[in-house]
């Protein structure tokens, strides 16, 4: 029986539409999982149903995480937020962690995981963090933008078997203060936290880069997605 994985939807406010980048689904399908895009809702009965039937959850990219999540003032350079998505992800993430359901966070996903559990974010790297690395790369998004160094004795090191890997990069927010619930797994060349995990859980991992763009050409991205699917119930 194939594994069912719930994916948090992307939301276009101008078009009033839910949508999905195909790479999120295709990379899971490539590992023989069945991805399902969830409705954007805060109805806890609906969310409890998906928490019951889904063996894992993928927190996708998208809107900026609202500074309200990490109790900060919203600066003018913070981008568009989605209150309903923040509330939905808060519920899904908390409940999934409580029952030890695997969760993978990508880009906004890793940022939200950190913020929800008490960490903070840079609301815009250009305004708040000096770096020579361009973290907002131009297409094609499946090429390497910069390197990250992976901490030994972490799940990510065990997954890829390397201390350094090249990653793509398309984000303007990033982890500032790391939540005490997480341990860092990878750092960028300019000192940003690029991957985290929750040490007392089966698989609660976040990455700042985008395997949904690179999995077709990058073995390390495929290894990460394979490990996620293998952890799914």
Question: Strands, DSSP E only, in the chain?
Answer: 3-7, 10-12, 17-19, 33-37, 56-59, 103-106, 121-122, 146-150, 164-167, 174-175, 183-188, 193-197, 204-207
Using alpha carbons, list the distances in angstroms from residue 101 to 72, 83, 85, 201: 29, 24, 20, 9
- Residue entry with tokens 């539409």: 17
Would you give the DSSP letter of residue 133? S
Angle at 102 between CA 100 and CA 106, to 5 degrees: 135
The answer to whether 170 and 110 have CB atoms below 8 angstroms apart is no
* Count of residues in the chain: 233
* Active site members: 107, 210, 212
């Amino acid at each position: 029986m194939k594994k069912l994985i719930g994916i948090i939807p992307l939301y276009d406010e101008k078009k009033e539409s839910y949508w999905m980048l195909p790479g999120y689904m295709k990379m899971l399908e490539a590992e023989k999982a069945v991805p399902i895009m969830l409705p954007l809702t805060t109805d806890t009965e609906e969310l409890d149903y998906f928490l019951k039937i889904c063996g894992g959850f993928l927190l996708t990219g998208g809107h900026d995480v609202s500074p309200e999540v990490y109790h900060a003032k919203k600066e003018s350079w913070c981008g568009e937020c989605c209150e309903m998505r923040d509330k939905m992800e808060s519920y899904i993430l908390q409940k999934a962690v409580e029952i030890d359901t695997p969760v993978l966070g990508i880009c906004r996903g890793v940022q939200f995981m950190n913020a929800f559990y008490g960490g903070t974010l840079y609301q815009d790297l250009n305004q708040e963090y000096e770096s020579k690395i361009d973290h907002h790369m131009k297409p094609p998004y499946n090429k390497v933008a910069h390197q990250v160094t992976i901490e030994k004795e972490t799940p990510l090191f065990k997954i890829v078997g390397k201390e350094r890997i090249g990653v793509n990069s398309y984000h303007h927010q990033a982890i500032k203060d790391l939540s005490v619930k997480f341990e860092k797994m990878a750092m960028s060349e300019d000192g940003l936290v690029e991957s985290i995990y929750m040490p007392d859980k089966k698989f609660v991992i976040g990455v700042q880069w985008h395997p949904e763009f690179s999995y077709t050409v990058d073995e390390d991205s495929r290894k990460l997605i394979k490990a996620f699917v293998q952890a799914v119930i």
